[in-house]
Structure formats: structure tokens, C-alpha cells
Structure 1
Amino acid sequence: MMKQPLPSLVEYGPRRVIITITAVVCALLEIIDTTIVNVALPDMRGSLGATLNEVSWVITAYSLANVIIVPMTSWLSQQFGRRNYFASSVILFTICSFLCGNATNIWELVVFRFLQGMGGGALLVTSQTIITESWPPEKRATAQAIYTLGVIVGPTLGPPLGGYIIDNYSWPYIFYINIPIGVMAALLALQYVRSPQYEQKRSASQVDWWGIVFLAIGISSLQYVLEKGQEDDWFNSAVIVTLCVMAVFFLFFFVWRQLIYEYPIVNLRVLRNGNLRIGVILSFIMGFGLFGSTFVIPLYTQSLLGWTAQQSGMLQLPSTLFVAAMMPVVAMLIQRGVPQKYLIAIGMTVFFIYSYLSYTILTPDTSAGNFFWVLIVRGFGLGLLSVPVSTMSLSTLKGAEIGQGASFSGMMRQLGGAFGVALISTFVTRQTDLHRSTLVAHLDPTNPQVQARVGQLAAGMRSKGFDPGTAQQKAYALIDASVTKQATLLSYMDVFLWVGIMFLVCVPFVLLFIKTSRNKVNLADAAH
């Protein structure tokens, strides 16, 4: 008896438009919430009477929940049905947004943020799967362009939107803004999203409970190390050392468990697909570069130039709009048969150029005008990178493999961003100390130029009414602050240079290891 093909999930007309918009908005909500909170931390701290370390858990809890749930998303979708799981995730995210805004103490807020992250992490990956399967194979590049736009726009919109809300309202409204959008998205998901028939629920005896435990402990330990390592002085902290050992131990046993168990929660075997394997690596590198550069620019503009969070966020808006303009162009090039590896290689080269230009323009007085064209170059590079990587990763997957591949890509992009922020934070701290030591070594107190500068500053202090001794101390303090500022600036320059070199080094590997394939999809093949 001939096996009947499963019903297609491809949509047409208004249904596809509604499903795509719903999925993109949900992905956008999730990503915006990873960055919008950053600018509200001082207000939360004052309102809830929390310490700096306590309030930082508002960010950490959300990230922990994300990295735990993302790799499990495909399995959970099979257990509950994609439509039900997606709609439930939207509802959980929306309810927890309300609860976050109504939290009366810091630990209430942390718990609700963790639960919000559990819903949000599912939105990110399931949205990509829904969009991919709602479009026909020959138009998958366009589908990925639409999804990737949300992934790129989210981190950029968070800070300026959060800054505007904080300046004009209060911090609970950064959560309340999710509620009307979430309610509408849940209703549309229940009405229009369909569950594929290949998804089969497993009995309780078939559920890989040990796999869930190993994954949750291993990933959360790793994420904590990345989030808190710099703050706790890395391996000088017994907690960090213990969690590193736990991460290695539990992730090793998680991989072992998934390879031997008949019903794994994460199908590692899907990584046998060469396109997905390379795409997962490139997703990690992209996450490193995107979140790393998104992290450094506000740090530089706010700490050295004195800009507000809203100003820093608005600085990156033209670049984001340029990425949006690039998406349909790149999708069209892919559909016309331009090899994706060449687009990725050019994108990485352009990202290196952006990094090098950023390295050259950083000064204590760099203006928004200096950044404009440099960030446009970044937008051009990200446009060439994002769509080809996403399309290539899922291009040869079918059925349940699409959701599993999207889970891997999403997880590696998140971990790439976490590694990027953690390593860059540590690098900036270490390089600042190194540059400071070098600069101080050149400040010889017997040097006439140094003495003249101290005398000039001291005279300025005396003119303000300070006695000679105090004026001398303040003069030295000003010089010390100037040295620290210069050292910090040099460390930011180093970050851009080394991130750019990392992308440039990847170019020959992309050209060598990504095989050129026939990108124009045969419509007869696509129908099967």
C-alpha cells in the first residue's frame, strides 16, 4: 500500500500574510524584551530597593529561561501540537509581562522574568518554523528574510523604546506594552496556525526526563558563567569554577543521552545534515558579532560620550532600516540562483570593513555623524549574512527536521551572543588595565610637559576657590580620570579590530567548506 503524503502546511493569500505577521511580531517581542530592560535597571533598583547585583538578575533570569527552552522547543511542539504550544507560549509571555509590571519586590520580578523567558524563548524558534513551513520551498529565502528582519531589528529597537518609556512614563510600562500585542497574537495564532500531522505526542514513559534534567542544569550553568563570570572575577570565584565543571559534566551526559535514547528531546542526529551543521556554526559567529557590536556601541557612547540610552539606541536605527531594505534584495538574489556562500563571504568581509572603520573613528569626541555611514556599512554586511545563513541552514530539511534545525540555529545564535557579551566585557576590562599601565608609565612626574599640565589644571582649581593643596590633588585626579578614559577608549578600539579579524578569518573557510548548490528550486521537487 502506497504511503499517502502528509498535507502541506504551505499557505496562500491572506492566511499566509496573517500567519507571517503574527510570527514575526512574536519573535520581535521576544528579542526586544532581551534589551529593553537594560535601560530600566536604575529605575527598577530605586523603585524596588534592590542592590545592583540583585537587579542584574532581571536580565540573567530571562536569558537563563531562553537558553533552557530553545533547544526543547521542537520536542514541546510535538508534545502539545504546534498551534497549542505557540499560542500557550504567547499567553504565558503576555501574562508574565503583566505580572512583571506589577511586581512588588525584586525577587518577584526575577521569578516572573524567568517565566516570561520560558514563553519568549519558544516564540523565537517556533516563529521561524511556522514561517518556513507556511511558504513554498522556492520562496523560503523570502520567508527567512522576513523572519531575520525581526531578529536584527529587535536588539536595536529595545534601548530607544525603553529609554522613551522610562523618560515619559515608568518602568512597568516596558512590560505593559506587550499585553495588547500579545492578546492579539494569541487570538490570531489559535485561529490561523496549523499543527503538522507528523508531530506525535509521546507517552509519559517515552519522555526523556533525564535528558531534560541534564540539559536544564548544563545550559543554565553555562549561561550563568557567561552572564556573571566577569562580575565574579571568573576562575577566582569558587562558584564560577563549580558551575563550569557542572556545565561540562551535564552537557556531556546530555549529548550521550540524546545519542542512545530512542525518544530524545533534542534530535542531535539532524546535525548530520551538512548545511545545518555549517549554518549552526555561522549562527554562533553571527550572534557573537551582532550582539557584541550592539553591546559595545551603547557602552562607548554612554560611558565615554555621556549619551542617554535613547540617544544610543537611535544612533543604530538607520543601520537597522538599511538592513530591512537589504532583506528583499538578498532574498531575490538567492531565488535567482546566486550561490549563498558568496553572499556570506561578502557579508563577512563587509562586516570586517565596518569593524575596521569603527576602530578608526573612535575618539573622545566622536559624533553621531561620524557613525552614520559606518553603521550603514554594518547594515549592508548583516543584510548579506543573515538571510543566506538562515536559508542555507534549513534549505535541505523536511518535516520535523525543520523545527529541530531552527532550534539548533536559535540556540547557537543565543549562545553566540552570550559568549560575545561575556568575552567582550572581560576583554574590555583586561585591555583597559593594560592600556592604563602603559599610559601611566609615560607620565613621568619630572617631565616638564607633565608638570606644566598639572600646574595649568591646579591654577584652574585655585581660580575656583580651592586652596593650593586641594587644587594640586584635584589636578592629579583630573589627569588620572583622563588616563582611564583614554585607556577605556583604546580597549573599545581593540574590540572592534579583533571582532573584525574574526569575521575576516572565517571568509576562506566559508568559501572552502560550503558547497555550491543549485539554489533555484525545482517546482516539481518542491511539491514532494
Structure 2
Amino acid sequence: MATQTLAPPEQLGLPTGFKKWIIVITAISAAIIELIDTSIVNVGLTDIAGNLGVTVEDVSWVVTAYAIANVIVIPMTGFLQRYFGRKDYYVGSIILFTIASYGCGFADNLWTLVAFRFLQGIGGGALLSTSQGLMFDSFAPSQRPLASALFGMGIVLGPTLGPTLGGYIIDNYHWSWMFYINIPIGIAAVLLSIAYIDKKQDELHIDRKSIHIDQTGILLLAVGIGSLQYVLERGEADDWFDSKVIAWLAVAAVIAIPAFIWWELRGTKEPVVDLRALKNRNLAVGSILMVVIGYGLFTSVLLYPLFAQRIVGLTATQTGKLLIPSGLATLPMFALVGRLMAKGASPRLMVVIGYVAFSTFCFIMSTYNMDASNGDFVYALVIRGIGLAFVNVPLINQSVSTLSPRELPTGIAIVNMMRQVGGAFGVAITNTYVTQRMAVHRGDLTSNLQPGDMLTMERLNAMTQGLAARGVNAFDAVTGAYKNMDLIISRQALMLSYLDTFKLAGLFFVVSFPLLFLLKRKKMDAATAKAISDSAH
């Protein structure tokens, strides 16, 4: 039997040398700034609220607006690339993201900031899937695992760097610089994209009149996914279904999402999101697993800083610095995973390793207390980073590996959307679970404190005497002692609720573990690989 070989990259029309790596750097940078902006403002909400003269609850719209726009646009990127052409859509999205970033930093009132954050989310929604397609197009089929590894670094580094960078800016500069830092990166990405990214053959002569616009599908998608994202983002803050807005939007999501699925599968021949691709078992299973990955990634990004700052007492800058060692240890793991995949190592085995590592991180964090040292955090975060490296890259690759070239853009968009939805579920579940568990633990702790209990009275007397020694009068010293006791109980209850939430995150990985064995491994033949190389992702 004759051995079929692929032509060298030059003959396949792939970029080489300096041009190739400029495209890689541009694509990764664009993906990172998009993901950084999903979490960078979280640590600055209090400062933004104080500066704009609004409550922290109101300013949380800055996070919600970006997330809603993001999750609506991501699944439509395949259609939008076909309509505008991938290069033009990509460059236009970076320009919109960059201009909106300037508008966010320049905003002098809440709703101007929210409006620009929504526009920023629309621009940012294109950057993930399109950047991933550009990465795939820059590598020969045999090197696609390396492309997945490099892109995986951006996926993990973005949400991780967000709170770190945000904390440093809040501690040292004005909050607007959380948005201004995007401007030079965005300008550089636009110029490099225009100069070095080539248009595909089918982008040169786009007949937009012949492209059907699925207006019904777009409307149902926007209403369904947008409502779901709002409910998940705002549910805990608005007391869930005690809020009429939450209740009505939950109804809208329950109606619109099934209607969208039916319409895309049965109601139109040219859907905006070709959900028929989910008949592919790898994509369907991979999408479910991506929800778990998104949940784990965003939950850990949310919980670790809260635990380090509110329980251990670290500053935002100190919390961010502890992520540096884990980042340095994790980066080589992505390169290792890429090489192992290129040599034919089992993706399923690597995902298993990643699952074990990430669940180990969760259970390690669930054993810490307020005496946890910096070394304890670094140890756990290194394990987390290794887990994410081994999970993200092989899982993304396997989810889309058995798709046809035509289905690939939709597959990539669905995978990215499911990770974002998983992140939204993670934040919603975490906030609700922490609140509920804190109430339970506070009740348990206070039930053990009886007025006549010797240990309780000794502790109160010691605190009263300590305050009196500082010159506080007797009545205020007693009152202050009870207040201090209440703060100690609240902090202890909060710590225990965080530990419970880490255990819950680890449990999600354990429960979804059997799904890994439903992934099929298909070795891509030369003809299919070349077809994917020639297609516009």
C-alpha cells in the first residue's frame, strides 16, 4: 500500500517563518485580551462604584453587559465569518473592541460604561473562535496539536491574569487603566492582522446577496442565551425568582432556547448556528465536558482570590503575585501536551490526567484555613495549572477532530460558547452555594455559643479586657467584644463555605469523568487534513 504524504506548508498555502509566528502572536494576544476582560473588572467594582457614585450592585452591570454580548456573538461567529469574510470580520471586531475599551475608560457615568462594555463584548465575542481558526490555518495538519497547545495557553492565561492585572491596577492606578491597557494591544493586533493575515480564496469574492440571513434564529438566540446569561449573572444578587425580572427572563430562556434549537434543526435550511453538527458524538460529548471545564476554570478564578484576600488577608497585588510561579510552571506543560499529541499520544489519557489534577487542586484547597501560607497556595495553583493544560488542549482538539471542514467553524464556536456558559453557571452556582453554606455554618457555630459556656465567657472576657486596656470604657468594651465575636464567627462561616464550594467544584469533575470514555479517537487522513487546511475556519 502506498503511503500518502502531505505537501510542504509552502505548497499548502500556509504561512511560514516570521509571518507564521506573527500571526500566532497576534491571534493569541487577541484571545488573551478578550478573556482578560471577562474577569479583570471583578476586583475593581468597588472602586468603580465609588468613583461613579453608584452602588456595587448597580456597577455589576459592567460585568453582566459584557458577558451577555459575548455569549450571544460567540455561536454566530461561523455565520459572520462567511458573511463578512474572516479577515474583515476579525479586523473589524478588534477595532470595535479597542474603541469600546477607550470608551469604557473614558466613561463618566454608569450607563455609558455599561453601553461601551456591551459593545466591547460584541467585538470580543469574535476574537476567541476566529483566533483559534487563524491558529489552525497557520500550521500544517501534523502540527495542529501544537496550535491547540499554544491557543490553550491563551484560554487559561486570560481568566487567570484578569484578576491579577486588575488587582495591580486598582492598587496603583486609576480603574480606567483596566480598559486603556487594551488600546495599544488592539492597535498592534489590527496593524499586524492587516499586514500579515491573508484572505482565503472564498473571501475575495463574497456574494452577500446569496447568503441567507437567519433573522428568526438570530432573534431566538439573542433572547434565549441573553436571558439565560442574565439570570445566571444576576440571579444571586437579585434573590433569584423573588425578582420579577429574573422570573420573566427565566421564562423567556425556557421558551426561546428550545424554540431556537427546533428552528435551527427543522425550521430553516440555512441556520445561523448549524446545530446539526452536534449529531457528531465527539462534539456533543466535548461540549458537555467544556461546560465542566468552564465551570472549574471560572470558579477557581473567582474563589482563589476571595479566599486569599477575605480569609487569609492578602492584598490584591499579593494574591496576583502568587499566580506567577504557577503560570511559569504551567507554560511548559502546554508545550509538552502539544508534543505528546503530535507524537500520537492518547488525548483521552491526557484529559484523564488533567481531570485528576484539577479535582486534586479543588480538594487540596478545601483543606486550607486562615493560616494557609503563600507556599500552600502556590503548590495548589501549580497543580491547577497542570490540570488545565492537560484538559483544555486535548479536549478542544478531540471535540472538533471528527468534524467535516464545513462543520468546523460551527464546532469551534459551540465549544467556545459552552465554555463561557459553563463559566457563567460556575459563577452563579458558586455565589449561591457560598451564601447558603455560610448561613448553615453560621447557624452551627452560633448554636455552640451559650451565654453560660465557660470557654465562650473566657473569650469574651479576654476581648473585653483587651479593649479596656486600650482606654475603651467598660460599656463600650463589652459591646465591642460581642461585635468582635460576631466578626470572628462570620469569617469562620465564610471560610467553611469556601471550603465546601471547592469540594463541590471537585465533585463536578468526578461526576463527569465517565463521559471521557465516550470520546472517539479518529486519526485524520491526509485528504481530510488538507481539506481542513484549505478551509476557512
- Return the alpha-carbon distance in structure 1 between the equivalents of residues 469 and 444 of structure 2: 32
The answer to whether 1:515 aligns with 2:520 is: yes
Change (3 A) 1:237 1:252: same
- Return the alpha-carbon distance in structure 2 between the equivalents of residues 41 and 428 of structure 1: 19
TM norm structure 2? 0.93
**Between 178-187 and 221-230, the greater mean CA deviation after superposition:** 178-187
8 Å CA contact 2:286–2:519 kept in 1: the answer is no
Shift of 1:505: 2.5
- Return the alpha-carbon distance in structure 1 between the equivalents of residues 252 and 207 of structure 2: 31
Q: Aligned letter for 1:211?
A: G
The answer to whether 1:298 aligns with 2:305 is: yes
Q: Aligned letter for 2:466?
A: G
1:400 to 374, 398, 406: 406
Map residues 213-362 of structure 1 onto 2, 5 A cutoff: 213-259=219-265, 260-360=267-367, 362=368
State the partner residue of 1:383.
389
Shift of 1:117: 0.9
State the partner residue of 1:527.
530
- Return the alpha-carbon distance in structure 1 between the equivalents of residues 78 and 331 of structure 2: 28
Deviations along 1:257-303, whole A, 9 cap, x unmatched?
11120111101011122222222111111000011011001111122
Gaps of 5+ in 2: 1-10, 532-537
State the partner residue of 1:369.
375
Shift of 1:9: 5.8
State the partner residue of 1:3.
none
- Return the alpha-carbon distance in structure 2 between the equivalents of residues 286 and 434 of structure 1: 28
Q: Aligned letter for 2:93?
A: S
- Return the alpha-carbon distance in structure 2 between the equivalents of residues 404 and 9 of structure 1: 23
Identity, % of aligned positions: 44
Q: Aligned letter for 1:527?
A: K
2:511 to 505, 513, 519: 505
8 Å CA contact 1:138–1:523 kept in 2: the answer is no
1:208 to 195, 207, 214: 214
**Between 246-255 and 299-308, the greater mean CA deviation after superposition:** 299-308
Deviations along 1:220-269, whole A, 9 cap, x unmatched?
11111111100011122222111100011111111111112011110101
8 Å CA contact 2:152–2:389 kept in 1: the answer is no
TM norm structure 1? 0.94
**Between 306-315 and 403-412, the greater mean CA deviation after superposition:** 306-315
8 Å CA contact 2:66–2:120 kept in 1: the answer is yes
8 Å CA contact 1:65–1:121 kept in 2: the answer is yes
Shift of 1:13: 2.4
What secondary structure is seen at the aligned counterpart in 1 of 2:471? coil
Change (3 A) 1:125 1:75: same
2:86 to 82, 91, 116: 82
8 Å CA contact 1:67–1:219 kept in 2: the answer is yes
Map residues 411-422 of structure 1 onto 2, 5 A cutoff: 411-422=417-428
- Return the alpha-carbon distance in structure 2 between the equivalents of residues 117 and 382 of structure 1: 25
Shift of 1:308: 2.0
What secondary structure is seen at the aligned counterpart in 2 of 1:36? helix
Q: Aligned letter for 2:303?
A: V
The answer to whether 1:152 aligns with 2:156 is: yes
The answer to whether 1:169 aligns with 2:173 is: yes
The number of equivalent residue pairs is: 518
8 Å CA contact 1:300–1:492 kept in 2: the answer is yes
8 Å CA contact 1:9–1:133 kept in 2: the answer is no
Q: Aligned letter for 1:276?
A: L
Q: Aligned letter for 1:314?
A: K
8 Å CA contact 2:67–2:121 kept in 1: the answer is yes
**Between 223-232 and 205-214, the greater mean CA deviation after superposition:** 205-214
- Return the alpha-carbon distance in structure 1 between the equivalents of residues 338 and 414 of structure 2: 22
8 Å CA contact 2:171–2:316 kept in 1: the answer is no
State the partner residue of 1:12.
16
State the partner residue of 2:535.
none
Q: Aligned letter for 1:504?
A: V
What secondary structure is seen at the aligned counterpart in 1 of 2:65? helix
Shift of 1:503: 1.0
State the partner residue of 2:7.
none
- Return the alpha-carbon distance in structure 1 between the equivalents of residues 169 and 446 of structure 2: 42
8 Å CA contact 2:357–2:383 kept in 1: the answer is yes
**Between 443-452 and 22-31, the greater mean CA deviation after superposition:** 443-452
What secondary structure is seen at the aligned counterpart in 2 of 1:206? coil
Change (3 A) 1:292 1:369: same
- Return the alpha-carbon distance in structure 1 between the equivalents of residues 227 and 389 of structure 2: 33
8 Å CA contact 1:356–1:497 kept in 2: the answer is yes
8 Å CA contact 1:157–1:317 kept in 2: the answer is no
State the partner residue of 1:196.
200
8 Å CA contact 1:78–1:201 kept in 2: the answer is no
8 Å CA contact 2:168–2:320 kept in 1: the answer is no
Change (3 A) 1:177 1:527: same
- Return the alpha-carbon distance in structure 2 between the equivalents of residues 485 and 310 of structure 1: 21
- Return the alpha-carbon distance in structure 2 between the equivalents of residues 168 and 487 of structure 1: 32
State the partner residue of 1:4.
none
- Return the alpha-carbon distance in structure 2 between the equivalents of residues 223 and 324 of structure 1: 31
Q: Aligned letter for 2:248?
A: T
- Return the alpha-carbon distance in structure 1 between the equivalents of residues 358 and 223 of structure 2: 35
8 Å CA contact 2:83–2:211 kept in 1: the answer is no
Shift of 1:151: 0.8
**Between 471-480 and 239-248, the greater mean CA deviation after superposition:** 471-480
- Return the alpha-carbon distance in structure 2 between the equivalents of residues 201 and 401 of structure 1: 20
The answer to whether 1:71 aligns with 2:78 is: no
